[in-house]
Amino acid sequence: MKRERKLFGTDGVRDIANKGNMTSETALKLGSAFIRFNNGKRIIIGRDTRCSGRMLEGALYSGMSSEGAEVILAGIIPTPGISFAVRHMNADGGAVISASHNPPEYNGIKFLGSDGCKLSDDEELAIEDIMNESKHERAIGNIIDMPELVNLYANHIAKILNPDAVIDNVVFDCANGASAVTVPILIQNTAFDTHKTHVISHDIHGHNINTSAGVMHMENLTGYVKTHGLSLGFAFDGDADRVLISDRHGRIIDGDIILWVLGRWYAKNKFSGYEKAVVTVMSNMALETHLAHEGIETLRCPVGDRYVLERMRESGAGIGGEQSGHIIARGFTGTGDGLCTAMLFLNAIYDLGEDISSLVDRFGRYPQRLTNLKLKRSVEEVDMKAVEEIAKEYQNKLPDGRIFIRTSGTEPLLRILVEAPEIGLVEEISCILSSRLEEYC
């Protein structure tokens, strides 16, 4: 039987800062164990805007440098910025201090390999094992500040955008997170008109990351787009590895619609791997139908952009991603990258001659309802076998739909997804399932 990780979840180690698994002591041990696992000589660390970031950064680089590593501090930078920096500087790995979309009181640590990609489950398990090993001989490394890496990353993203694809009257919602540093640089280095391009939620004092802003609060972006009569809006999460879009009507263009657009663009240009796309179990069934019409095979995988990448590597797929806005575009990025995706979306819209305002209507998604039940016990104590049996019982009532239930990898939640052509049936089954499954939480 495969051993389960105890510290690492869907996206690194995450908890309320200075509590549980996200203390300075844990960060110190993680830093030390990562170097012993990686045998790295040069590691790059970045962080988002959270107040706890500097505290955890100090502990993390102390652990790394105590193993003889040269640690480069990039400061506030998106997660994909560290992925880029690792490749650009031929580093042995990277680490990001961020809790992504979670509220300000949370924080987390995720590691990247020398390819700039997130580690596998087995690699994270190996790091946990090393943390439990006895003391050993240590060395003294070095710590270097290199804040200019954020500029290199932003300029890299700027080069992706076709100048002819730029749209006037666009807004970027930075979620008061890491993209608040990169978006202004991006705008200055592209054909965006600085007088017609808006940037909102760009305060980086650390107490407000993801608060009433970004992908977790799309009403902030959609309301701004409608109020100011803008053409388009992009919203990121705290570490900018996700993006969601608002059309001019204030309707949300999610990861599924983005993948539909990019899939067609990849096929038109015959980019490597254009025949296949990887999506997670959460993606709408309408996406499979649309991609099939383009001759693109859809492959599904568990939730998490690193699982998307693993399946892309196995299958040779050109694009992959999640409904939540994590998108990986082969040839452009090796991890979810909100800024890169935004630029590729503009390129694709231009090349395809797309009408952005009609995308939501034409996609015609199956009705879905995602219900989150708060867990009153640990994830390990949830009787998932019993939960799945109940799900099978109701799946029989949805011959043209599906039910998917899982525990969250980042929060104490049981997630219940119901999808079918009839909205009434979706609502009915969702309510009944939620009621029945409360006792297992």
Catalytically active residues, by annotation: 100
The burial of 169, by beta-carbon neighbours within 10 Å (0-12 exposed, 13-18 middle, 19 or more buried), is given as: middle
Q: How many residues does the chain have?
A: 441
> Which one, of 90, 109, 94, lies nearest residue 48 by Cα?
109
Work out the number of other CB atoms within 10 angstroms of the CB of residue 364.
Answer: 10
- Cβ atoms of 210 and 216 within 8 Å: the answer is yes
> Which one, of 217, 208, 219, lies nearest residue 177 by Cα?
208
Cα 183 to Cα 180: distance, rounded to the nearest angstrom? 6
Mark 37-50 as b/e (b = at least 16 C-beta within 10 Å). Answer: bbebebbbbbbbbb
Contacts with 387 (C-beta within 8 Å, 6 or more apart), sequence order? 405, 414, 437, 440
The DSSP code sequence of 182-213 is HHHHHHHTSS--TTTEEEES---SSS-TTTT-
Q: Please, which residues bridge with residue 173 across strands?
A: 200, 235
Cα 256 to Cα 258: distance, rounded to the nearest angstrom? 5
User: Helix crossing, 149-160 with 179-188: angle to 10°?
Assistant: 50
The burial of 434, by beta-carbon neighbours within 10 Å (0-12 exposed, 13-18 middle, 19 or more buried), is given as: middle
DSSP reduced 3-state for 15: strand
- Cβ atoms of 240 and 327 within 8 Å: the answer is no
